[in-house]
Amino acid sequence: MSDLTAVSLVTIVAETALKPRLTKDLMNLGVSGYTVTAANGEGSRNRRAGDVDGGNVMIQCLASRDLSLAIMNHLEAEYFENYAVVAWVSSAEVIRKERYS
Amino acid sequence: MDSSAQVIIANLTSPPVLAFALGLLAVLVKGDLRLPDPIYQGLSIYLLLGIGIKGGVALRQSELSDVAVPAIATIVLGLLIPVLAYLFSGKLTRLSEVDRGALAAHYGSTSLVTFTAALVFLEQSSISYEGFATTLLALLEIPGIIVGLMLGTRHLKREISWSESLQEIFSSRSILLLVGGLVLGFATGAVGYAKIEPFFGGLFIGMLTLFLLEMGTLAGRRMRDVKTAGAGLIVFAIVFPIFSGILGVLFGYVSGLSMGGAAVLGVLAASASYIAAPAAVRLALPEANPGIYLAASLGITFPFNLTIGIPLIVLVAQSLEGMVG
């Protein structure tokens, strides 16, 4: 029997146009995988081309605490200023912790 | 009733244009006629690929020597129009250089649906045009976006990542499907096309009608932004397409196209992109406000071209026939 261990769950909601860039960045930063779902909603920015291209996407990945911080810092440096992006880190519990660097 | 009024009414009562009006109306009464997203995506794939294939089949039947000069004229138009749009919008609006660069990218590029509606209109009016018109559409898609991005980033402190942007533009779905369709149609020829004609030919106007219903709802929602955009932008979004459309007709005649072909090039020049350009501009020029460029291209210019612009440009082409070239 394995036990549960804590990892970070990073959730990013962004305009659809950013999906290829964001997922590439995540892989380059070292996540082992990610999940993308279509998302819709309203926010403070309301400045996007998403209508034509299809709303927002929600990208989630599991990561170590250090990596999740690196992801958030990368988003701050590259995306928060000009793009419609929100992101947060929450805690999750998994078995097979070695999968989430 | 004189013939020009008839031409305009014939266009206004065609099923795709009426469906577009229904979509607009639905937004006005706050109804919801949006197609489910996968259906919209599927329809856009169908239209892009179908137009590409038909264009490829027609290109195969054309002589290279007939295509070469109009192709060069089209690329020159693609480089010239964004510069003119940038200068014009500077006179008419108080927008920043970044927003004007974004507008230039949209007006320099072209609109597949406007092009398609123009072909439907010409066929309805029994006006023939060169089969390689779709090749001209493909040629006009990209240069305008690149010139617009260059103009928009001129005054920015940061460097634009051209390799990344170009990769994103060339690998975008609309370019891949359109250019891929052209190659596919060219390879398969009329014999191969005969097998898929019921799907890509017979059903085409019906599918286009469904797609324009969705475009009506998209344009209607963008019209709300028009109010905040200001009078200068509205004037620009109507007057500039007329100007660039006439320029396109002239380029068409000078490069030896028929009356129908010159009208198609005019419509291509007059139309503003709202699929390829917004995606590219959003990524490469995030400082520009999509509320402005989408309100102009999708909220004003697209409905204008669909209803009045297309027949107007055809009338211009008819009246200039024999005077130029």
Task: Give residue B2's pLDDT.
Answer: 61
- Which structural domains are found in chain B, ordered by start? 3-28+36-319 (1.20.1530.20)
pLDDT at B1 exceeding the cut of 60? no
**Interface contacts A/B by beta carbons within 8 Å:** 41
Residues in chain B with CB shorter than 8 Å from the CB of A55 are 37
Distance from CA of B282 to the nearest CA of A (A): 7
Task: Give residue A27's pLDDT.
Answer: 96
pLDDT band for position B11 (cuts 50, 70, 90): confident
Task: Give residue B22's pLDDT.
Answer: 95
Between chains, do A82 and B286 touch, taking CB under 8 Å as contact?
yes
Range in A62-66, A74-78, B29-33, B238-242 the model is least confident about: B29-33
Q: What is the mean pLDDT of chain B?
A: 91
Mean pLDDT, to the nearest integer, of B63-77? Answer: 94
Selecting from B278, B287, B289 the residue whose C-beta is nearest the C-beta of A52 gives B278
Find, among B284, B29, B9, the residue nearest to B156 by Cα.
Answer: B284
Selecting from A38, A53, A83 the residue whose C-beta is nearest the C-beta of B279 gives A53
pLDDT at B247 exceeding the cut of 80? yes
Q: What is the DSSP letter of A56?
A: E
Comparing alpha-carbon positions, the chain A residue that sits nearest to B277 is: A49
Question: Residue B111: beta bridge partners?
Answer: none
Range in A24-28, B164-168, B225-229, B250-254 the model is least confident about: B225-229
Q: Report d(CA B204, CA B164) in Å as an integer.
A: 35
Please tell me which residue, A44 or B249, carries the higher pLDDT value: B249
Q: Which fold has domain A5-95?
A: Alpha-Beta Plaits (3.30.70)
Distance from CA of B40 to the nearest CA of A (A): 9
Between chains, do B286 and A83 touch, taking CB under 8 Å as contact?
yes
Exposed, middle or buried: residue A66 (CB in 10 Å: 0-12, 13-18, 19+)?
exposed
Mapping DSSP onto H, E and C, the string for chain B reads: CCHHHHHHHHHHCCHHHHHHHHHHHHHHCCCCCCCCHHHHHHHHHHHHHHHHHHHHHHHHCCCHHHHHHHHHHHHHHHHHHHHHHHHHHHHHCCCCHHHHHHHHHHHHCCCHHHHHHHHHHHHHCCCCCCCCHHHHHHHHHHHHHHHHHHHHHCCCCCCCCHHHHHHHHHCCHHHHHHHHHHHHHHHHHHHHHHHHHHHHHHCHHHHHHHHHHHHHHHHHHHHHHHHHHCHHHHHHHHHHHHHHHHHHHHHHHHCCCCHHHHHHHHHHHHCCCCCHHHHHHHHHCCCCCHHHHHHHHHHHHHHHHHHHHHHHHHHHHHHHCCCCC
pLDDT band for position B218 (cuts 50, 70, 90): confident
pLDDT at B158 exceeding the cut of 80? no
Interface with A, mutate which of B172, B282, B283 (most A CBs under 10 A): B282
Between chains, do A52 and B298 touch, taking CB under 8 Å as contact?
yes
Exposed, middle or buried: residue B91 (CB in 10 Å: 0-12, 13-18, 19+)?
exposed
Find, among B83, B90, B22, B104, the residue nearest to B303 by Cα.
Answer: B22
Phi and psi at residue B190, to the nearest 5°? -65, -30
Task: Give residue A50's pLDDT.
Answer: 46
**For residue range A38-83, what is the model confidence (pLDDT) as tens digits?**
887 776 655 554 455 557 899 999 999 999 999 999 999 999 988 8
Residues in chain B with CB shorter than 8 Å from the CB of A53 are 275, 278-279
Interface with B, mutate which of A52, A53, A78 (most B CBs under 10 A): A52
Task: Give residue A54's pLDDT.
Answer: 59
Domain layout of chain A by residue ranges: 5-95
Residues in chain A with CB shorter than 8 Å from the CB of B221 are 51
pLDDT at B5 exceeding the cut of 70? yes
Between chains, do B294 and A52 touch, taking CB under 8 Å as contact?
yes
pLDDT at B153 exceeding the cut of 70? yes
pLDDT band for position B325 (cuts 50, 70, 90): low
Task: Give residue B210's pLDDT.
Answer: 95
Mean pLDDT, to the nearest integer, of B263-285? Answer: 91
Mean pLDDT, to the nearest integer, of B36-48? Answer: 89
pTM of the model: 0.88
Q: Do B213 and B33 contact (CB within 8 A), yes or no?
A: yes
Find, among A27, A76, A80, A34, the residue nearest to A59 by Cα.
Answer: A34
Mean pLDDT, to the nearest integer, of B137-155? Answer: 92
Task: Give residue A26's pLDDT.
Answer: 97
Residues in chain B with CB shorter than 8 Å from the CB of A49 are 278-279, 281-282, 290, 294
Task: Give residue A49's pLDDT.
Answer: 46
Range in A34-38, A81-85, B156-160 the model is least confident about: B156-160
pLDDT at B311 exceeding the cut of 80? yes
Distance from CA of B37 to the nearest CA of A (A): 7
Task: Give residue A90's pLDDT.
Answer: 97
- The ipTM is 0.73
Range in A17-31, B101-115, B158-172, B307-321 the model is least confident about: B158-172
Please tell me which residue, B271 or B158, carries the higher pLDDT value: B271
Comparing alpha-carbon positions, the chain A residue that sits nearest to B286 is: A82
